[in-house]
Amino acid sequence: MHLAKLWLALICAGSLFAQQSSQNPAIPSQQDSIVVTGTYQPVPLSESDRVVEVFHVNQNSILFDSFSDYLRQDSSVDLQQRAPDTVQSDISIRGGTYGQTLVLLNGIRINDAQSAHHNMDLPVPLEAISEIQILNGSGASQYGSDAVGGVVNLITRASETPEVRLRTALGNWGRNEEAGSIAGGTKNISEELAFSREFSSGFQTDRDYRVLSLASITHAKTALGNTDVLLSLSDRPFGADQFYGDFNSWERTKGWFASIRQELGSNTDLEFAFRRHTDLFVLLRDDPEYFTNRHALESWEGAARRTDNLPGHAQLHYGIEAFSDNIVSNNLGNHSRVYEAGYVSYDIFALRRFSFSAGLRDEIYGSFNSQWSPVVSGGAWLSPNWKLRGSVSRAFRLPDYTDLYYHDPANVGSPNLKPERAWNYEGGIDWHAGQRLHASATAFQRRDYDLIDYVQNSPTDIFRATNFQDLVFTGVEAMFGYQGRRQDLSVQYTGITGERAIKPGEISKYVFNYPINNAVIAWQGSFGSQLAARMRIGATDRYARDPYGIWDASVARIRGHVRPFLQITNITSTVYQEISGVAMPKFGILGGVEFVARMH
């Protein structure tokens, strides 16, 4: 703890000798947040008919260290980490499996067709992101496959203000981190370069990791409309002890991502994206020849979208999309698939009165197979402070290549798997008391059909990919939030129950690892004009597992050119596992300094 006291002293000393700001920093009001996830047209957060959480990454980001620090503030998000700092994690929402959450980058899907275990293998550093928006519940009618339990949308930034940020930090377990960004531009064009590098020798044997991420973000205003170009890459080698069984494994993933979005006037968008992802997996780190897999996946995506304004505050949205996946693998074989989609949606918004949306998407794949994804949602303001909302939607998920073709000594896929299907129902009420207090309560249910899981029929059998019928997940979400000038408090709870007929001796590998109770208290505030701090306390009770609690905190100077900071994780050294058999670290400490130079 001596290191923690030293860093706290440095932070306080830096604030005392800094020049005082003319105004005290304020916690920005979330009431003005604009939602682009789960809607075809941006709307104010309070007008959304769906449950959407918005995290502003570029506000006091020095208090956060990774994507998981933000995601874990939503009680409906279950981040099943195999390693800290989101080195490798499975993500699910509202009790869904790790394959039933869709991850987007600026609205473009980056889910991995090889394996959903790589959906959080993000190709961009946190320094390149301005917002994280989370949709709780189905988003298939807008985004297609995988958006069964929810959607996570990462939104990049492109600053017009010239700025340089450099950050370095040291911590226990041999942690060494460097990150930064360089941004600049004019009224018509802006550019931002961002990078991050993280290294750790591991909190235990074979849990070391090294992460490198780079990104270039270009924004231009032309006669046609706005143009956005994103280029990024990532490289993650890491020790994977116990990640996929009782083996001292090792893995290295690499990712390349490129996208361009072009506006044609104010109503039409064209998008194109390319993603390449490679995965080298060694089952026994000290004997690579025993079992090694090499996978290389390439994915393409193109879309044309249009919005027409109609009389009576209504809008018509429609578009077409095309996708292509191709994999070369020594284990899965060589495969490719192409699928197309078309959608249409009618929305009407009478602000602070009522809203209604009806949409339909048709996804065509294989030999003229298709999946229809309808959605109907609506909301009505009972008074200036109270709003009722509800939705009904259908979602689906196509099997990934691992589900279909994978085989090793303990697991085997099935090429005859059917796509997962689900119906989602939800209803809720929102309360807004001005711009400072808000609360909501939501009840939801998801009915899964042909859900894919790996199942062991006896202790001597291997796990086999199988379709299951009639799984029902029912839950509630409750949230209370306060946003003041200097304090921001959020209290959330999510409770879920799942029902499925289990055969005697049958063991499910993934489906029943969800939290039946998950509560989060997240606080962030500022002190004077120089210091800011945050704290998160989370309590998780998983199905058929012992409950545990995690307490994290951080403090930093947020003004001046030199900004020291201190971050502490798992303050109470709780022993816990988010994935059965994979230990997570105890008390962790990271101290560093950020250098900021900005021209106005």
What is the per-residue pLDDT across 543-561, written as a single tens digit (0 to 9) for each?
988 999 999 999 999 999 9
Say what the pTM is. Answer: 0.92
CA gap 194, 454 in Å, rounded: 39
pLDDT at residue 12 tops 70? no
Half-sphere exposure of 253 (CA within 13 A, CB side): 24
Backbone angles phi, psi at 15, to 5 degrees: -70, -35
Render pLDDT for 20-70 as a digit per residue (tens, 0 to 9). Answer: 333 344 433 444 678 888 888 888 888 888 999 999 997 889 999 999 999
Q: Which long-range contacts (CB under 8 A, 24 or more apart) does 374-382 make?
A: 374/141, 375/138, 375/140, 375/141, 375/142, 375/345, 377/49, 377/50, 378/49, 378/354, 379/47, 379/49, 379/354, 379/355, 380/353, 380/354, 380/355, 381/352, 381/353, 381/354
CA gap 558, 63 in Å, rounded: 9
- Alpha carbon 559 to its chain centroid, in Å, reads 29
- 3 confidence band (pLDDT: 50, 70, 90): very low
pLDDT at residue 227 tops 50? yes
Higher pLDDT, 3 or 98: 98
Higher pLDDT, 349 or 506: 349
- 274 confidence band (pLDDT: 50, 70, 90): very high
CA gap 386, 431 in Å, rounded: 5
pLDDT at residue 7 tops 50? no
pLDDT at residue 8 tops 60? no
CATH class for the region spanning 2-598: mainly beta
CA gap 65, 84 in Å, rounded: 10
pLDDT at residue 200 tops 90? yes
Render pLDDT for 317-361 as a digit per residue (tens, 0 to 9). Answer: 999 999 999 999 999 999 999 999 999 999 998 877 899 999 999
Exposed (0-12), middle (13-18) or buried (19+): which is 411, by Cβ within 10 Å? middle
How many CB atoms neighbour CB 522 within 10 A?
23
Q: What local confidence, expressed as pLDDT, does residue 468 receive?
A: 85
Contact criterion met (CB below 8 Å) for 420 and 397: yes
Q: What local confidence, expressed as pLDDT, does residue 159 receive?
A: 73
Contact criterion met (CB below 8 Å) for 447 and 474: no
Comparing CA positions, the residue from 36, 254, 74 lying closest to residue 153 is: 36
Work out the percent of the chain whose per-residue pLDDT is above 90: 75
Render pLDDT for 298-325 as a digit per residue (tens, 0 to 9). Answer: 999 999 999 999 998 899 999 999 999 9
Render pLDDT for 386-397 as a digit per residue (tens, 0 to 9). Answer: 999 999 999 999
Q: What local confidence, expressed as pLDDT, does residue 501 receive?
A: 64
Q: What local confidence, expressed as pLDDT, does residue 459 receive?
A: 78
Calculate mean pLDDT across residues 452-467: 88
Work out the percent of the chain whose per-residue pLDDT is above 70: 94
CA gap 559, 562 in Å, rounded: 8
Q: What local confidence, expressed as pLDDT, does residue 537 receive?
A: 98
Q: What local confidence, expressed as pLDDT, does residue 126 receive?
A: 94
Contact criterion met (CB below 8 Å) for 175 and 198: yes
Contact criterion met (CB below 8 Å) for 580 and 555: no
Q: What local confidence, expressed as pLDDT, does residue 11 receive?
A: 43
